[in-house]
Amino acid sequence: MIFYRGTCYENKEQSRLLGTLRNDCFRTLNQSPPLSRETVIRACDFLYRKVCDHAFDDIVLPLLRVVDLSYERFLEMGKLFSREGLEAKCRMELGENAEDRRLPSGTLCRRVPLGILFHIAAGNVDALPAYSVVEGLLAGNVNILKLPTGDSGVSVRLLSELVKAEPALAEYIYVFDVPSTETEMLKTFADIADAVVVWGGDAAVQAARTLCDVKTEIIAWGHKLSFAYAAADATDADLTALAEHVCATNQVLCSSCQGIFVDTDDMETVSAFAKRFYHILSDVNRRVGFADVGMRGKNSIRIYNDLLENPNQTVYYGNGVSVRVGEDSRLELSYLFRDVWVKPLKRTEIVPALKEHKAHLQTCGLLCGKDDRPILAERLLRAGVTRVTGGDLSRMFVGEAHDGFYPLARYSRIAEIDP
């Protein structure tokens, strides 16, 4: 499905529309008045209120079942689209630079859009492609979106509803369903754009770089790894909150906890901690309901193979969850869907152990006493972590950054005009 200037087209129209895309984008920049943030916020808030009124339950409810997300958590996330949420986001990310101002010399400083953004979206969160476009709109840009493989149609539905609410947005949104193998077509999009916004892992970012020449900027929101760092005597309350987070996200988000580093170099302590967390995770898992049966089966096979290859490995598993004990201090992806590794990492080794992962670090759930929190948080930040939380690593709040940066600032620039 293609969404082009407010109209949906079949994919067979792709070549024809691609032939007019450059001129249509440039005509908007050349002839249309600047896109106001108020127009974007008004449309998003209208859509948010319709979602709250259950107008889109036909797509929302099946989606929530697939990702195993509660409706309450979904509504919390939806607040990011509300007027209150978006106005606060603009204030936080743009600050005093959101409006025109004059320097003492009389020079006018104005924040202006980059121009045209080409979004290469990831598919791990269905509404993420639409949200990426909304951020581009808030900064005043024309937006070209490549849908991720296997897209469910949620993004096109949301963006088409935005245009219905505010028809002025139509000329700022272009959505194409193009396979990643169609490199020449993707190069055409990148050549039109002032910047390519790419969501994905190292391979996706590297592939995006091959599409762009030196005139096009790359803005990468790469896949990240998140984890917990815990004192050996972390409280049951903290571990329960972490277990609830693991079950709520199924570890598929960049902010999802993949494993736990314990502040020790004693393996008996690590194993005892892992066993304790396994029992807590099992209890939470029974209370909230099991993960997808297919993923549970896949993890069971992986753990069975692990134990065949290394019978001395300590693994606590059953009841749809698993906690694996590791002797190294390497940050890595878990098996996902309620599988957690537990490893030793003395606080004095935080920076050297994590710094090699500097491009992939995101959130750390810090589970320790109040007195230890400042020094441990500082070491985690120096290692490259961009967010330190408690047990709920994926909590969302208005004004939060993307991996340590504000997107609206990156999607715009400061222009200076002498009197």
Note whether 264 and 372 are same-domain residues.
yes
Higher-confidence residue of 346 and 222: namely: 346
pLDDT digits (tens, 9 = 90+) for 186-199: 999 999 999 999 99
- Give pLDDT, residue 164: 95
Number of domains in the chain: 2
Note whether 208 and 317 are same-domain residues.
no
Q: How many CA atoms lie within 13 A of 197 on its CB side?
A: 30
**115 domain residue, yes or no:** yes
pLDDT digits (tens, 9 = 90+) for 9-59: 998 999 999 999 999 999 999 999 999 999 999 999 999 999 888 888 887
Note whether 104 and 52 are same-domain residues.
yes
Rounded distance, CA 191 to CA 213, Å? 8
Place of tokens 């993307």: 402
The overall average pLDDT reported for the chain is 91
Contact 275, 316 (CB under 8 A): yes
Note whether 187 and 229 are same-domain residues.
no
Residue type (1 letter), 293: V
**193 domain residue, yes or no:** yes
The CATH number for 26's domain is: 3.40.605.10
**255 domain residue, yes or no:** yes
- Give pLDDT, residue 125: 65
- Give pLDDT, residue 142: 98
Note whether 315 and 239 are same-domain residues.
yes
- Its pTM stands at 0.87
- Give pLDDT, residue 287: 94
Which range is most confident: 136-150, 282-296, 364-378, 395-409? 364-378
Note whether 94 and 127 are same-domain residues.
yes
**93 domain residue, yes or no:** yes
Note whether 118 and 197 are same-domain residues.
yes
Phi/psi of residue 172, nearest 5 degrees = -105, 5
* Residue range(s) defining the domain that contains residue 259: 225-389
pLDDT digits (tens, 9 = 90+) for 217-230: 999 997 899 999 99
Note whether 246 and 282 are same-domain residues.
yes
- Give pLDDT, residue 66: 66
Q: How many CA atoms lie within 13 A of 2 on its CB side?
A: 18
Q: Is the pLDDT of residue 278 over 90?
A: yes
Note whether 214 and 231 are same-domain residues.
no
Contact 270, 342 (CB under 8 A): yes
What HEC string does the chain produce?
CEEECCEEECHHHHHHHHHHHHHHHHHHHHHCCCCCHHHHHHHHHHHHHHHHCCCCHHHHHHHHHHHCCCHHHHHHHHHHHCHHHHHHHHHHHHHHHHCCEECCCCCEEEEEECCEEEEECCCCCCCHHHHHHHHHHHCCCEEEEECCCCCCCHHHHHHHHHHHHCHHHHHHEEEECCCCCCHHHHHHHHHHCCEEEEEECHHHHHHHHHHCCCCCEEEEEECCEEEEEECCCCCHHHHHHHHHHHHHHCCCCCCCEEEEEECCCCHHHHHHHHHHHHHHHHHHHHHHCCCCHHHHHHHHHHHHHHHHHCCCCCEEEECCEEEEECCCCCCCCCCCCCEEEEEECCHHHHHHHHHHHCCCEEEEEEECCCCCHHHHHHHHHHHCCCEEECCCCCCCCCCCCECCECHHHHCEEEEEECC
Note whether 377 and 408 are same-domain residues.
no
**160 domain residue, yes or no:** yes
Q: Is the pLDDT of residue 303 over 70?
A: yes
**397 domain residue, yes or no:** no
The CATH number for 246's domain is: 3.40.309.10
Phi/psi of residue 276, nearest 5 degrees = -60, -45
**57 domain residue, yes or no:** yes
